[in-house]
Amino acid sequence: MTTTAAKRRRVTWFHRRIANPLMRYVAGYLPGSALLETTGRRTGLPRRTPVGGRIVDGAFWMVSDHGVASNYVRNILAEPRVRVRIRARWQEGTAQPMPDDNARERLRSLPVFNSLLVRALGTELLTVRIDLRP
């Protein structure tokens, strides 16, 4: 059986080298996908990460597979103002990690394919809500 840290390293390698470079081009155009733009906590540069989620009542909901170990979650903690490309349009918003939310239950209301991957590859699930500006 593998440790959480080893699994996180393998999944992070897969995301950085294979999944994210491919998904950056289509995320935000495909249903259930989005491109999240955060501000780098050390560099101040924009960082774009493909994510899966859904808009519910004016907020974009998603689940991070590695919680605060994910760089985009650390960037959100340092600077919560973000942009999200959904359906080919950029929207600004304020992101907020929701540690008290049941992330496994939240995944049931999010896009099925992404939710399956997050459950399978995730090590420390964390719900993130982005309150979108009108």
pLDDT score recorded for residue 114: 87
Domain boundaries, the chain: 4-132
Query: What top-level class would CATH report for the domain 4-132?
Result: mainly beta
Instruction: Give the model confidence (pLDDT) of 21-76 as tens digits.
Output: 777 767 777 788 999 999 999 999 999 999 999 999 999 999 999 999 999 999 99
Strand 46-56 vs strand 126-132: parallel, antiparallel, or unpaired?
unpaired
What confidence score (pLDDT) does residue 1 get? 47
pLDDT per residue as tens digits for the range 112-130: 988 988 998 889 999 999 9
- Look up the pTM and report it: 0.86
Split at pLDDT 50, 70, 90, the class of 5 is confident
Cβ-based neighbour number of residue 95 at 10 Å: 24
DSSP string for 104-131? HHHHTTS-HHHHHHHHHH-SS-EEEEEE
Phi, psi (5° rounding) for residue 43? -90, -25
Give dist(CA 59, CA 46) in Å, integer: 21
CB atoms near residue 66 (< 10 Å): 22
